[in-house]
Structure 1
Amino acid sequence: MIELTGVHKSFGAVEVLRGIDLTARAGTVTVILGPSGSGKSTLLRCINHLEKVDRGTVRVDGELIGYRQAGDRLHELSERQILRQRAGIGFVFQNFNLFPHLTALQNVAEAQISALGRYKGVANEKAHELLGLVGLGDRAGAYPRQLSGGQQQRVAIARALALDPKLILFDEPTSALDPELVGEVLDVLHELARAGATMIVVTHEIGFAREAADTVVFMDSGRIVEQGPPHEVLDNPRHERTRAFLSKVLV
């Protein structure tokens, strides 16, 4: 499903990604761990071409993301073509990014109308279904300001699901939440994992990584230091840098 090959990304003189190779099969959950500044969020943004890679390639379901290949050269796609690709890659951000003037239902429906061209009635029906899925069927008419942070993040997850994505990217989806609200969002992620969604999740929630991930990836300084099944990376890490990081987050 996902294949990153030799991905490099710099911002000015700062090299943020230094040759990332990563693959993930359809229906699996990949959790990315690492300290702040290790390149985790930039990596997610490169997967759906919110950031252009400097070198390397990203493929989702066999399709080259952001570019077309002609011989040995890559040419960036038009904005319209890139938006079409992004519609198949859901993205859930740290800070919800809901439209404050739209209700929960409208936030989930509008994504479908704008990106997929669905009729309003069809989009509303799908939005109702998805709000029920994330436990907010009774809050469809509420505006973001009337919802807790955990509820807003669950609306954001429903909005991402509304586009029927092949892949869902989560960028620290619980980091902006009060501790007592984290569990309700993680419960939704667990349900998605059990349902076979293909997910890449950047998080510091080690319990979620241990229980839901098929693969745990540890990044530092723009590189993948190690990766493998949760019981290997979390319980018996091979690299000293991984051990040092886990000794702090597992306290």
Structure 2
Amino acid sequence: MLEVRGVHKHFGTQEVLHGIDLTAETGSVTVVLGPSGSGKSTLLRCVNHLEKVDSGQVRVDGELIGYRQSGDRLHELSERHILRQRAGIGFVFQNFNLFPHLTALENIAEAPIAALRRSPSEAHGYARELLDRVGLADKASAYPRQLSGGQQQRVAIARALALDPKLVLFDEPTSALDPELVGEVLDVMRGLARTGTTMVVVTHEIGFAREAADTVVFLDAGRVVEQGPPAQVLDAPRHDRTRAFLSKVLT
């Protein structure tokens, strides 16, 4: 489903991704771990072309993201084409990014109406199904300011699912939450994992990685240091850098 090959990314003179290779199978959960500044969020943003790669390629379901290839040259797609590609890649951000003037139901229905030309009645009906799926069926008429952080993030997850994406990216979805609200968001994500949603999750929640991930990737200084099944990476890491990182986050 996801194929990242040789991706490099600079911000000015600083190279933040050094030739990243990563593959995620359809229906799998990939958890990306690493210290702050290791390039985790930048990697996710390159996957849906919110950041342009300097070299390398990203493919989702076999389709080259952000570019078309002509011989050995890549040509950036039009913004309209890129937006179409992004519709197939859900993105859940750290800070919810809900529209404050729209209800929970309207936040979820907005994209299907605008991007897929669905009728309001159809979009609202599906939005209600998604709210029920994330345990917020009774909050359809609530505005973001009336919801807790955990509830807002669950609405954001429902919104990411509203376009029936092939792949859902999560960028530290619990980092902005009070500790007592983290569990309700992780429960929703575990449910998605059980239904076969293809997910790439940047997180520091080691328990979630151990329980839900098919593959754990440890990123440091813009490089993949280690990747493999949770039992191998988390319980028997092969690299000193991985062991040092885990010794801090597991204490």
TM-score category by the smaller chain?
A: over 0.9
The aligned residue for residue 39 of structure 2 is 39
- Which amino acid letter does the alignment assign opposite residue 141 of structure 2? G
The aligned residue for residue 72 of structure 1 is 72
SS of the residue corresponding to residue 209 of structure 1 reads helix
- Which amino acid letter does the alignment assign opposite residue 163 of structure 1? L
Cα deviation digits, residues 6-60 of structure 1 (max 9, x gap): 0000000110000001111000000000000000000000000000000000000
The aligned residue for residue 191 of structure 2 is 191
Query: How far did residue 117 of structure 1 move?
Result: 1.4
Query: How far did residue 215 of structure 1 move?
Result: 0.1
Query: How far did residue 111 of structure 1 move?
Result: 1.5
SS of the residue corresponding to residue 85 of structure 1 reads helix
Give the Cα–Cα distance (whole angstroms) in 2 for the partners of residues 201 and 24 of structure 1: 11
Which consecutive aligned stretches of 4+ in structure 1 deviate over 4 angstroms post-superposition? none
Cα deviation digits, residues 184-216 of structure 1 (max 9, x gap): 000000000000000000000000000000000
- Which amino acid letter does the alignment assign opposite residue 204 of structure 1? H
The aligned residue for residue 132 of structure 2 is 132
Does residue 1:113 correspond to 2:113, yes or no?
yes
Query: How far did residue 227 of structure 1 move?
Result: 0.1
The aligned residue for residue 23 of structure 1 is 23
Does residue 1:59 correspond to 2:53, yes or no?
no
Give the Cα–Cα distance (whole angstroms) in 2 for the partners of residues 45 and 128 of structure 1: 29
The aligned residue for residue 218 of structure 1 is 218
How many residues of Structure 1 are paired with residues of Structure 2 in the alignment?
Answer: 251
- Which amino acid letter does the alignment assign opposite residue 90 of structure 2? G
The aligned residue for residue 10 of structure 1 is 10
Query: How far did residue 246 of structure 1 move?
Result: 0.2
Give the Cα–Cα distance (whole angstroms) in 1 for the partners of residues 245 and 7 of structure 2: 24
Give the Cα–Cα distance (whole angstroms) in 1 for the partners of residues 114 and 86 of structure 2: 13
- Which amino acid letter does the alignment assign opposite residue 101 of structure 1? H
- Which amino acid letter does the alignment assign opposite residue 127 of structure 2? A
The aligned residue for residue 234 of structure 1 is 234
Give the Cα–Cα distance (whole angstroms) in 2 for the partners of residues 115 and 101 of structure 1: 20
SS of the residue corresponding to residue 234 of structure 1 reads helix
Give the Cα–Cα distance (whole angstroms) in 1 for the partners of residues 117 and 203 of structure 2: 33
- Which amino acid letter does the alignment assign opposite residue 234 of structure 2? L
Query: How far did residue 106 of structure 1 move?
Result: 0.3
SS of the residue corresponding to residue 115 of structure 2 reads helix
- Which amino acid letter does the alignment assign opposite residue 236 of structure 2? N
The root-mean-square deviation of aligned C-alpha atoms, in Å, is 0.4
The TM-score, its normalising length taken from structure 1, stands at 1.00
- Which amino acid letter does the alignment assign opposite residue 182 of structure 1? V
Cα deviation digits, residues 83-130 of structure 1 (max 9, x gap): 000000000000000000000000000011112111111000000000
The share of aligned pairs that are identical, in percent, is 80
The aligned residue for residue 141 of structure 1 is 141
SS of the residue corresponding to residue 20 of structure 1 reads strand
Which segments of 5 or more consecutive residues in structure 1 lack a partner in the other structure?
Answer: none
Give the Cα–Cα distance (whole angstroms) in 2 for the partners of residues 46 and 102 of structure 1: 29
- Which amino acid letter does the alignment assign opposite residue 201 of structure 1? V
Give the Cα–Cα distance (whole angstroms) in 1 for the partners of residues 17 and 187 of structure 2: 31
The TM-score, its normalising length taken from structure 2, stands at 1.00
